[in-house]
Amino acid sequence: MPLVSLELPAGVYRNGTKLQSKGRWYDANMIRWKNGRLRPIGGWEQTDTSGITDAGRTMKAWKDNSGNKLLAIGTATKLWVYQGNSGTAYDATPSAFNAGRVTALSGLGFGAGPFNGSGVDVTVTATDISIGSSTTIVSTSTDFTELFSAPDLIQASGFTNSANNKTYSNSHRITAVSANSMTVDGTLVTTGADGSAGQSITLSKARGYGEDLSTGTSLILGANTWSFDVWGEYLIALSKSDGKIYEFRPNYLTTSSKATVISNAPTNSLGVVVSKERYLVAIGASNDPRKVAWSDQEDNTVWSASATNSAGSFLIDSAGELQVALKVGDRILMWTDVDCHALDYVGPPYIFGRRKIGDACGVISPQSVVSFRGISAWMSDGQFWTYDGVVKPLRCEVQSYVFDDINLVQKSKIYATTNQQFGEIWWFYCSKSSDEIDRYIIWNYAENWWSIGQMPRTSFIDSGVYDRPMGLGTDFKLYEHESDASTATRPSSIGPPSSASDMCLRDRKLYRGTDQTGETGFVYAESGPFEIGIGERRVQGNQLITDTDAGTNGLRFAFKQQATPEDAETTSDSYDIASDGYTDIRVQGREVSFKVESPFDQNWDIGNIRMDVKQVGKR
């Protein structure tokens, strides 16, 4: 009986129907290929003590002058800094910081909302909120700066007094915010003191008069992200919701100090980057989405151009708005939402020159681009791109799968990261069924394959400063990734996960030698169909011969059969891989696909697969 090779090229192909993936891998989760061999993605372990308080959207690792490893994480409301990768994060949030949205919102456009507004974003209910004057809301312990900023619209409800029993359901525009006080532009009460002790008061950020946002008319209101770089040992940080440029000094970790505003730096900016020549560059500076401004060389507090310094600014020629700037090789690249520009150091008197280097190639989000080894790759709307001296489209073999199932309302959360140990770039995004990061896509630039899967990580950084990649889960905990495979057996105290998300939000070590055949296979790769029959003739598979180091640790196969691409699939029993490499099976059909899967914490790899077949009739 002949042996039919089921060897497939590395990577998933998902740009059409399942039949169009014939002879390729069609689906995968937690899978990569190395030198053509299929293997699971490495494990991870929680490293911090208690996590942080909300979703981290941006991460930056660096070292201070003493060699200490530091990790900054920006959230919608906070700036956190870890020293090392364990213990408790330090709250470095600047004072008077304007917090942003935790999640993106779908705007309605003028006239589409309730006349008096409705709470759509942040809500706080407390018993310590009261009216301090006719236009002031005060609190004894609630920090309003973590929740609201001018000129947000809010609704106030729950205020009562014996004179008028008012509820204050109308929207009010905030004109000023401090830690325990907010001033609004309309009278809250004309007589009496509202908000008696113990009274539960609710404040909600609101849409008013059909507006989708108090400060703009965008139909999608993005989640808050940060822009990080380093100035020597100092962290440079900017939050899109706040627009100010901050500096954080590592010695602050031993004091109660916070990140502080850089003197004279432009406000209402969209991003920052430090040039190789030691200029601090702000994009979207001073509330102009096309303005690029830079400080004096070696002095990031001097921004006004004069004959005695090299500070300056200009506007780029673009129909879009600047989103992000990164160092790529010897130049800085700047992306808008529609195109790409280069910022090159030319020296005095102009300091920087600029030119557009790509049209119709803007980024889908500020963090959807990575820079590595003098090249760059990014996700755009419906397309991937690379730059290696020239901007060009990147052929993606799972492009249809990704863009057919992506939550574009949450596109501001999309981010990219490298994993240079394996020659990979990862993009994390929200599927259509989720408002939070739950999916990833991998491009292996070293071996040129693509893969897909599920992993809830709201931010991620590559190894370099840290020995291994670091990711933040949707449980707000810090995980060290790609941990070494263990030769031990899985402890009996570790039970199987109940879902792919559950699998990712717990420690995952890769063991060998434990047979967990009853566990759901969240780690798998599934092939496209093999057409192995003609007319009424079919092929029956009797045995698999595998090339694997799995041993008896739960690696198994299942087969799906169809008569035609439109016919319903039937799935076979699961077949555990025999330790001697000869696995008896019974599979019959015209179109057959197979799935190789394993428990969530097993380590293995597998190469060529052969099947012993014979031709049979329809029955």
CB 94 within 8 A of CB 258: yes
How far is the C-alpha of 242 from the C-alpha of 123, rounded, in Å?
19
Inter-residue contact 616 to 540 (CB < 8 Å)? yes
Backbone phi, psi, residue 72, to 5°:
-95, 140
pLDDT band at 49 (very low <50, low <70, confident <90, very high): confident
Of 534 and 364, the structure prediction assigns the larger pLDDT to 364
Alpha-carbon distance of 254 to 264, in angstroms, equals 27
Which is more confidently placed, 533 or 50?
Answer: 50
Q: In the 8-state DSSP scheme, what is residue 205?
A: E
Gap between the Cα atoms of 522 and 197, Å rounded: 53
Predicted confidence at residue 368, as pLDDT, reads: 98
Residues 587-619: pLDDT tens digits?
A: 877 788 889 998 888 888 888 888 887 777 665
Cα–Cα distance, 195 to 158 (Å, whole number): 8
Which of 36-45, 153-162, 171-180, 224-233 holds the top average pLDDT?
A: 224-233
Please tell me the predicted confidence (pLDDT) of residue 611. 84
Please tell me which residue, 161 or 68, carries the higher pLDDT value. 68
Give the tens place of pLDDT for each residue, 483-498: 877 777 777 777 788 8
More confident residue, 567 or 243: 243
pLDDT of residue 163: 45
pLDDT at 240 over 50: yes
The pLDDT score that the predictor gives to residue 513 is 65
Average pLDDT over residues 260-273: 97
Element spanning 404, H or E: helix 399-404
Tens of pLDDT, residue by residue over 179-199, are: 888 888 766 654 444 444 446
When pLDDT is averaged across residues 553-560 and rounded to a whole number, the result is 82
Segment among 55-59, 434-438, 520-524 with least mean pLDDT: 520-524
Report the range out of 20-24, 345-349, 539-543 with the highest average pLDDT: 345-349
Q: Is the pTM of this model over 0.85?
A: no
Answer with the residue of higher pLDDT: 208 or 87. Answer: 87
Judge contact between 374 and 418, C-beta under 8 A: no
SS3 503: helix
Portion of the chain with pLDDT greater than 70, in percent:
85
* Cα separations in angstroms, 342 against 47, 276, 280, 329, 331: 39, 14, 16, 11, 7
Q: Please check whether residue 109 is in contact with residue 219, taking contact to mean a CB–CB distance below 8 angstroms.
A: yes
**In the sheet that 226-231 helps form, which strands lie side by side, from edge to edge?**
226-231, 234-239, 245-248, 260-261
Question: Please, is 2 exposed, middle or buried when counting C-beta atoms within 10 Å of its C-beta (0-12, 13-18, 19+)?
Answer: exposed
